[in-house]
Chain A
Amino acid sequence: MSTPLVSLQDLSVQFCGSRTASALNEVNLELGAGEVLGLLGESGSGKSVTLRTLLRLHPERTTKIQGRMLVDGQDVLALKGRALDLYRGGTVSMVFQEPGLAFDPVYSIGQQITESIRAHAAIDETAARAQALQMLERVQIPQAKRRFDAYPHELSGGMRQRAMIALALACQPKLLLADEPTTALDATVQIQILLLLRELQRETGMSVIFVTHDIGAAVEVADRIAVMYGGRVVEQGPVSQIVRTPRHPYTAGLLAATVGTENRGQPLLAVPGSPPNLAALPPGCSFAPRCVHASERCRREVPPLLSLGRQALACWHPIMPLAEAA
């Protein structure tokens, strides 16, 4: 594979406070240019932390980051000052879960997008406004000219999310991070936003990391899926392989627990137990306490992430080993 756009190597993040929580534990991820990666997981899996770390959004004082992060050839952890400001928004941008919270309520959305454009490029107000309006039209906001001067609270949920996507794409980033962008939206709006993201990704050729707990949303948008659990990547692969023939017991459990149209009338194959406590992770595989296949080795040793081609797996007793074709 040619040089990937994003490369996370042995990335570990710890939050220090009255207790220390290991949010990420030696995460290894790679993303090529123009690829869409779906990051799947539940609470405490570390998926949102990964995105925030990519943008260096954590407070410096209480966060310990180890490992390497390379985005578009830059060492993200070494960025400072102006370089970091340009990186945020210019190279990497983010779309958040709650569209209402990402906007400042006292400025119109047009003003905020214009401000973002001018922070990254030295162009005058009129040109920036024109570009901002263009962005609003691109995200298919009806009557964009009128909505340009609207305040965030005057827009509906779906509109706000489109406006946030416009804000994120205003400076043409190479990588877009989407943190559960459709979770808070209604079903009919959700599919519109997912299709919009897919279309914009095809048009601009940018890479996307799409975080979600909804497998359906990931299937619609992603080329590859990485499953996270307890701050680690446990499985990675093309979306069809993950969905049809999962290798890791957690992935399989997640798919089995997803209510579909076939299991009506039967008890669901639920994964027992609860997501792990990040302040007190078990010594071995973090999924071992809930895994039916767990052995002594699983409880003692953390399985390493082994990769083969486009797939990766971290498990001592997978359902289907990595070497076997899916």
Chain B
Amino acid sequence: MNTPSYSQNPAQDRGGPAQPLLVVRDLKKHFPVRGGPLEKVKKFVHAVDGVSFSVPKGKTMGIVGESGCGKSTTARLIARLMAADSGSMVFDGEGVEEFGGIRLKEFRRNLQMVFQDSFASLNPRLTITETIAYGPRVHGMPAAEAMRQAHALLARVGLAPEQFASRYPHELSGGQRQRVNIARALAFDPRLVILDEAVAALDKSVQAQVLNLLQELKAERQLTYLFISHDLHVVHYISDYVMVMYLGQVVETGPVDRIYGQAAHPYTRALLSAVPSMDPDKRTQASPLAGDPPNPINPPSGCRFRDRCPHAHPVCEAKTPGLIGIADEPSHQAACHLNDPASGHPAALTEIQP
């Protein structure tokens, strides 16, 4: 069989340091809800509804939100595991699968993903070395070299090859399996790694180990991370930029200090104050929001958060707020009429009590 030779990563840094590694524009994905044959009005799950953001090179972008916000779907759209309904994606200045852009298979070497369920992410019939070596072999690396690289990666993620190389996934603990998943992602020598709730299912003590490992690897290999999580503490620790999603849309985005210190969207504030207090003398006295996160089927018109927002006003139903820059920081943007003096909201730009 004629296997193509394994070349160095074809997409070296082509765009230069100022070029964002990933630019996503107006990504949309709607899933049809299957009703009966007599249903006239088709219902759609608006999983991702116009998401745009960019990720600078060598930084970590955290994506937070609750169930139904669309963060996992966004990750899968970026990873090209499913096709978007509309929207564009530019990787290091080049489109993917477009005229003059990168071919999909080559693109796969640049972008890898670590999933939440460490056990379901590994083929139970293969040893972990075989799993790690599979990817490079698909791209033409000879088997012996792929195995050697797999051993080296195992050592790097903290699993001694002499002990672990021939193990099967069921013989490892959750934290160890997640290390294998990280090694598998690194085997491609990627530039962007998407971590989809990668540490959520781990014990706290193990979680800290894996987070340390991720930080080390990022510095060593100049990686860029997209870190999806529902745990606000972890996102605050690891991210440089944060994006908050609600019902398929981006409601706020910006540098991590701004988001955590000066959140400009009522939902972000509610989310931040919903985190349990660690101080027994200052326990939470009231819940910031009532009810459950809503269903992304046929979302409300205008601002989607208006049903639960303490500052809602008729203008919120009439006009959908767009992302507006906040104060003096251009990269900090929020989609709320309260920040826009021209919106017609009576409380716009006044000091808001959370």
Contact = CB atoms under 8 A, between A and B. Distances in A.
- Direct contact, A vs B (beta carbon within 8 Å): yes
Given A188-B271, A243-B278, A220 B283 contact: yes
Contacts of A220: 276-277, 283-284
Interface in A196-242: 213-217, 219-220, 239-240
A271 B292 contact: no
A268 interface: yes
Interface in B277-304: 277-281, 283-293
Given A142-B291, A259-B237, A261-B236, A272 B209 contact: yes
Interface residues of B, number: 46
Nearest to A260: B233
Given A157-B292, A239-B280, A270-B212, A42 B203 contact: yes
Interface in B26-76: 66-67
B211 A253 contact: no
A261 B233 contact: yes
Interface string B251-287: 0000010001000000000110011111111011111
Given A195-B284, A270-B205, A188 B274 contact: yes
A256 B176 CA distance: 21
Interface in A259-302: 259-261, 263-264, 267-272, 274-275
B256 to A, nearest CB: 8
Given A243-B280, A261-B236, A268-B212, A188 B205 contact: no
Contacts of B212: 267-268, 270
Contacts of A159: 292
Contacts of B274: 187-188, 190-191
Contacts of B231: 259
A308 B286 CA distance: 35
Interface residues of A, number: 44
Nearest to B172: A274
B205 A253 contact: yes
Contact of A42 (B205, B276, B283, B288): B205
Nearest to B260: A261
A183 to B, nearest CB: 10
A116 interface: no
Interface string A151-164: 00000111100000
Nearest to B205: A271
Top 3 closest pairs, chain A to chain B, by CB: A216-B276, A270-B208, A257-B208
Interface of A: 42-43, 142, 156-159, 186-192, 194-195, 213-217, 219-220, 239-240, 243, 253-254, 256-261, 263-264, 267-272, 274-275
20 contacts: A42-B206, A158-B292, A159-B292, A187-B232, A187-B271, A187-B275, A188-B271, A191-B284, A192-B290, A213-B204, A216-B276, A216-B277, A216-B278, A219-B279, A240-B281, A261-B233, A268-B208, A270-B212, A275-B173, A275-B206
Given A191-B287, A240-B281, 5 more contacts: A43-B174, A188-B66, A189-B66, A257-B208, A261-B260
